[in-house]
Amino acid sequence: MLKEERQEYILSRIVKDSRIYVTTLSEELGVSDDTLRRDLAELEDKGLLTKVHGGAIPKSGISIKFTERLNTAVTVKQQMAAKVIPLFKEGDVILIDGGTSNMEVARQIPRDLKLTIYTNSFPIINTLFDYPNLDLIFLGGKVFSSSQVTLGITVYQDLQMVQPDWAIIGASDIHPEKGLTGPDREEAMIKRAMIERGKKCIVIADSDKLNTARIYHIASIADIDYIVTEDSKIDYIKQNWTKYPNDVI
């Protein structure tokens, strides 16, 4: 494939998916990671995209909408969520952020388990609405439609009164040196506040989110107690990341 054809393909994928990954494109196009990085650099110089660690996003920097992520990598999300559920015990207080992987955690919570759950996610509230043994509290605030969560000062103030056993944080990017990052400043601030309030923090991240970073810092790797990822990536993180949390599962 000629360079021009390859770059056209890259641009079509970024329009379709709102984010592209070097490793994925390398497999699809049969070229090296270095070749793709040069393509991304050229396209960024032309103002056609923005490079981020591990890939690229549209020039606007807008994140992929929740509804567009909902039906992607469903089996992987189910497998990762299944690792989280055994960590909970009767009576735990859980603070759960938005995100499609976190949504799968909510779906797998046993209906007979007594928990207190705080969330700023509309889809998670809807999922858990009729669970008879949950004390369910919604953190109201300004609506951030692309992630279907609430943000703003009222959410931040409510978080100051919560001391959860677990904070489960949605991740778009996690990097061994740059930590947990995100594309939106206000959302990053709320995620940071959630991590600060939780006794223990869980971040669920599939392989596409590893070794990538965005502009806004949320937390360092040291602030995360568990990274939950695909089975095939557990040893990779432990062997290749000089810094990783208390556990990778």
Q: What SS3 string covers the chain?
A: CCHHHHHHHHHHHHHHHCCEEHHHHHHHHCCCHHHHHHHHHHHHHCCCCEEECCEEECCCCCCCCHHHHCCCCHHHHHHHHHHHHHHCCCCCEEEECCCHHHHHHHHHCCCCCCEEEEECEHHHHHHHCCCCCEEEEECCCEEECCCCEEECHHHHHHHCCCCCCEEEEECCEEECCCEEEECCHHHHHHHHHHHHHCCEEEEECCHHHECCCCCEEEECHHHCCEEECCHHHHHHHHHHCCCCCCEEC
Residues constituting the chain: 249
Spans of the chain below 50 pLDDT: 61-62
Domain(s) of CATH 3.40.50.1360: residues in the chain: 68-248
Model pLDDT, residue 65? 59
Chain segment 118-130, per-residue pLDDT in tens: 999 999 999 999 9
Chain segment 212-242, per-residue pLDDT in tens: 888 899 999 999 999 999 999 999 898 888 7
Asked if the 3-57 domain carries CATH number 1.10.10.10, the reply is yes
Asked if the 68-248 domain carries CATH number 3.40.50.2000, the reply is no
pTM of the model: 0.76
Domain(s) of CATH 1.10.10.10: residues in the chain: 3-57
Q: How far apart are CA 37 and CA 34, in angstroms?
A: 5
